[in-house]
Amino acid sequence: MDWIKFLGTAGARFVVSKQLRSSGGIWMSLAGKEILVDPGPGTLVHCLKSRPKLNPGKLDAIILTHKHLDHTGDVNVMIEAMTEGRLQKRGVLFAPADAFENDPVVLSYLKDYPEKIEILKEKSEYQLGDLKITAPVKHIHHGVECYGLNFEGGRKSVSIIADTRYFEGIESFYPGEILILYVVLLQPFPDRVIDHLNLGDAERIIEANRPGLTLLTHFGLTMLRSKPWKLAEALSKKLKVKVQAARDGMEIKLE
Ligand SMILES: [Zn+2]
Ligand SMILES: [Zn+2]
């Protein structure tokens, strides 16, 4: 049984620092592999508080889409937990090169705890058991090196569009039957360009790809105030495709 669990659905500074939503990232169980994407602050606590409990010692991979704090706050403690304090040299850590360069987010002494470190690069493909993981395109509009992800080989193909400003053609890189979209903003700001997707961008992407199920997450304050579940329902009706807003702790089973 494949499934996806949202340990957290917070995006952007205020929602994370005030913990209006938790920032624990996404745990996925796909094709027999346990994968944690973007372990923000509080991830370990939310794994252990989860019912049933999620055991970090079972993780096969930790993936950072980019080095921003809301995606990496708990990466070091999660590496420790995955490897049981290095008793078990196991798991793969995927991250862009700049996560290890100046201002590194992964502590040097932890770098040899996982079995392997894979540097995410544009168009790179990785095989994790039966699961193929690809980073199809670099999200150049986000200040740091950032990648979305595609997962193939499980019950359903899954795409994650991580933080980015919208760019022409982004849809074509993420064909997953399940589409996870990081939608921080309700609307574009009138006076400045923000390097995040807004709800209009999400609509454009969903309309182009028409995935079997779209899951919105990584909400900033403007999205939260407008009740993401209502926004998702309205989008579903308008586009006649299934769109759902993620909640903290929500689990989706992939039949
Ligand atoms: Zn973010
Ligand atoms: Zn970011």
CA of 1 to the centre of ligand 2 (A): 31
Cα(222)–Cα(63) distance, rounded to whole angstroms?
27
Distance from C-alpha of 209 to C-alpha of 151, rounded to nearest angstrom: 16
pLDDT at 12 over 90: no
CA–centroid distance, 70 to ligand 1, in Å, is 6
The owner of tokens 């058991």 is: 129
From ligand 2's centre to the CA of 72, what distance in Å? 10
Asked whether 7 and 43 are in contact (CB, 8 A), the reply is: yes
- Six-digit token pair at 160? 């994650």
The 3-class secondary structure across 172-216, one letter per residue, is HHCCCCEEEEEEEECCCCCCCCCCCEEHHHHHHHHHHHCCCEEEE
Q: Strands 92-96, 61-63: parallel, antiparallel or unpaired by DSSP?
A: parallel
Contact between 12 and 220 (Cβ < 8 Å):
yes
From the CA of 208, how far away is ligand 2's center (Å)?
24
What pLDDT score was predicted for residue 233? 98
* pTM for this entry: 0.97
Mean pLDDT for 125-152 is 96
Q: Please provide the DSSP assignment of 85-127 as one string.
A: TTTS---EEEEEGGGTSSS-SS-GGGTTSSSEEEEE-TTEEEE
What confidence score (pLDDT) does residue 200 get? 97
User: What is the average per-residue pLDDT within 7-19?
Assistant: 95
Question: How much distance in Å is there from the Cα of 163 to the middle of ligand 2?
Answer: 5
Distance from the alpha carbon of residue 37 to the mean position of ligand 2, in angstroms = 13
pLDDT by residue (tens digit) across 24-41? Answer: 999 999 999 999 999 999
Find the ligand nearest to 15 CA.
Answer: 1
Return the structure tokens found at 10.
């917070």
Q: How far is the CA of 67 from the centre of ligand 2 (A)?
A: 7
DSSP 219: B
Cα(88) to centroid(ligand 2), Å: 31
Q: Which ligand is nearest to the CA of 164?
A: 2
* Distance, CA of 171 to CA of 236 (rounded, Å): 18
Q: Tens digit of pLDDT for each residue in 64-109? A: 999 999 999 999 999 999 999 989 999 999 999 999 998 999 999 9
Q: How far is the CA of 240 from the centre of ligand 2 (A)?
A: 30
C-alpha of residue 66 to centroid of ligand 2, in Å: 7
DSSP string, 150-177: EEESSSS-EEEE-S----TTGGGG---S
Q: Residue 220 has what pLDDT?
A: 97
Q: 163 CA to middle of ligand 1, Å?
A: 6
Q: How far apart are CA 116 and CA 133, in angstroms?
A: 15
Ligand lying closest to the C-alpha of residue 71: 1
- 151-202: pLDDT as tens digits: 999 999 999 999 999 999 999 999 999 999 999 999 998 888 889 999 999 9
Report the CATH architecture of 2-250.
4-Layer Sandwich (3.60)
Tell how far the Cα of 87 is from the centroid of ligand 1, in angstroms.
32
In this predicted model, what pLDDT tens digit does every residue of 229-252 receive, in sequence order? 999 999 999 999 999 999 999 999
Ligand nearest to the CA of 146: 2
Cα–ligand 2 centroid distance for 165 (angstroms): 10
